[in-house]
Structure formats: C-alpha cells, structure tokens
Amino acid sequence: MANIEFRNVSKRYDDGPLTVPGLDLDIRDGEFMVLVGPSGCGKSTILRMIAGLESISSGDLYISGHRVNDLPPKDRDIAMVFQNYALYPHMTVFDNMAFGLRVRNFPKLGIERRVREAAETLGLADLLQRKPAQLSGGQSQRVALGRAMVRDPQVFLFDEPLSNLDAELRVQMRSVISRLHRQLGTTSVYVTHDQVEAMTLGTRIAILNQGRLMQVGTPLSLYNDPDNTFVAGFMGSPP
C-alpha cells in the first residue's frame, strides 16, 4: 500500500503553457481516487507523472513518503492499465499475464500461481492458452487487468480503461474493478471523463479543469456541497 502526495507540482511540455499549474493533492493509502474532468485538462499527464513516464517541471511528488521526482518507472512499484490494452499479439493470455513478472526475474512457480489466481478471479481460467486475436474486447481488458494484478503493486493507475468498451461491458467491468479494489486494497488512481464512472468507483473524486484542481471529496459531498458552478454542473447537483 502507498499514499501519494503532490506538493505544488507543475508540468510544462517543452515551451508550451503550463499543463498542470501547481497541483496539491493527497491520495490516501488504499483509497480509490478518481481524477475526472474534460478532455485535455491534464488527467493523463498527472497519472503519467505518478508512473514516472512524464517528468515533473517543478514541485515535489512523494510516494509512501519518498520523493520520487527522479525515480525511473521501473523502480516504482506501480502497474498501469490503459484504454488500448496493448497485449502482445504473438503471446498467449498466460504469457501476456506472466510477462511483467518474467522480466523482473520472478521465480517460475510463483508466476504460475499468481497468473492462475488472477485468471480465476477475472474469469479467464479457460482462456489462458488463447492468443489476443481470439478474445473479445471485454476479455482483452480483463487480461490487461490481470497483467497489472499479478505484479501485486503498491499502486494501480487506470487511464480511461473502459472507454473502448460498449455500455453493457463498461458497467460489468466497473464492478470487476470495484471488486478487485476491495479485495486487494491497493491504492488506485483512476482517470475518466465519465461522471457516472467517477461516482460509482471513487472513494473520493478530484475534479480538474485546465490542470487546476476544482474540488476533491467523496461523491456525496461533491454532489451536496459543490464549491463552484463547474463542480455543480459536473456532478449534476441541484441548483
């Protein structure tokens, strides 16, 4: 488990404008934090800074109390699930899920056990010998989740993982992700522009607009007590 602290973190790409101007945000140990806001507001940038895939222009980022500004991604105990599942097409489901453990020289028996457990939890046990081309969209996304899960990371990052799925599957996958989070208790940061997804998944929600944090709170407190019209509009609060 881990907590994540942004202290006055700014991000500027090249010599463009500030994409994230001075973010202060605490993500608590074991919570499911949803980052939500319109397209282009900086959600992916914030997530990628946690993963170490994007540099921080100024300020400090702490994970479990350690400053990680300059820590390479491979040294962060973090797994990320993307919108395009990016499975290796030539590998079986089993090998796709095992890959991240093999490259970390995890013992063979441990790999076997973790992959089978994750496959069981995600309803993939009968599909382990298939190739990605033989899977549906929902199955592929579950393999992507499984691949993150077997690493048993301190932090899960999700970047709009359900946005390529149809409505029915999205609802189904939301409950798979919720259940996983309750079961594993891993700190999760989940990016979406879908307010229903934010409200159903989040322990707390951080609402962003143009890189700025508009408000952070539980779904209910944001709905009942919005600080401004942007938050009220987003949450559909009564006037």
Binding positions for ligand ADP, rule: CB under 6 A = 13, 16, 19, 39-45
- What's the DSSP call for residue 162? T
Binds 40: which of Mg ion, ligand ADP, none (CB < 5-8 Å by kind): ligand ADP
Query: By CB under 5 A, how many residues form the interface with Mg ion?
Result: 1
The closest of 33, 1, 37, 7 to 22, measured between CA atoms, is 7
Phi then psi dihedrals of residue 103, to 5 deg: -65, -20
Binds 41: which of Mg ion, ligand ADP, none (CB < 5-8 Å by kind): ligand ADP
Taking residues 3 to 42 in sequence order and writing x for each that binds Mg ion by CB under 5 A, - otherwise, the string is ----------------------------------------
| DSSP bridge pairs for 36 | 192, 207
Neighbours of 183 (CB within 10 A): 10
Q: Does 44 bind Mg ion (CB under 5 A)?
A: yes
Provide the minimum distance between the beta carbon of 197 and Mg ion in the complex, in angstroms, as a whole number.
14
Separation in Å, CA 49 to CA 52, 57, 103: 5, 10, 23
- What's the DSSP call for residue 165? S
Nearer to Mg ion, 47 or 155 (CB): 47
Sequence-distant (≥ 6) Cβ neighbours of residue 175 within 8 angstroms? none
Binds 19: which of ligand ADP, Mg ion, none (CB < 5-8 Å by kind): ligand ADP
Provide the minimum distance between the beta carbon of 43 and Mg ion in the complex, in angstroms, as a whole number.
5
How far is residue 28's CA from residue 180's CA, in Å, rounded to a whole number? Answer: 17
Provide the minimum distance between the beta carbon of 16 and ligand ADP in the complex, in angstroms, as a whole number.
6
Q: Does 45 bind Mg ion (CB under 5 A)?
A: no
How far is residue 116's CA from residue 94's CA, in Å, rounded to a whole number? Answer: 8
Nearer to Mg ion, 44 or 154 (CB): 44
Nearer to ligand ADP, 19 or 140 (CB): 19
| DSSP bridge pairs for 159 | 191
Provide the minimum distance between the beta carbon of 41 and ligand ADP in the complex, in angstroms, as a whole number.
4
Residue matched to tokens 């929600």: 205
Nearer to ligand ADP, 42 or 153 (CB): 42
Provide the minimum distance between the beta carbon of 160 and Mg ion in the complex, in angstroms, as a whole number.
6
The closest of 44, 6, 55 to 26, measured between CA atoms, is 6
What residues line the site for Mg ion (CB under 5 A)?
Answer: 44
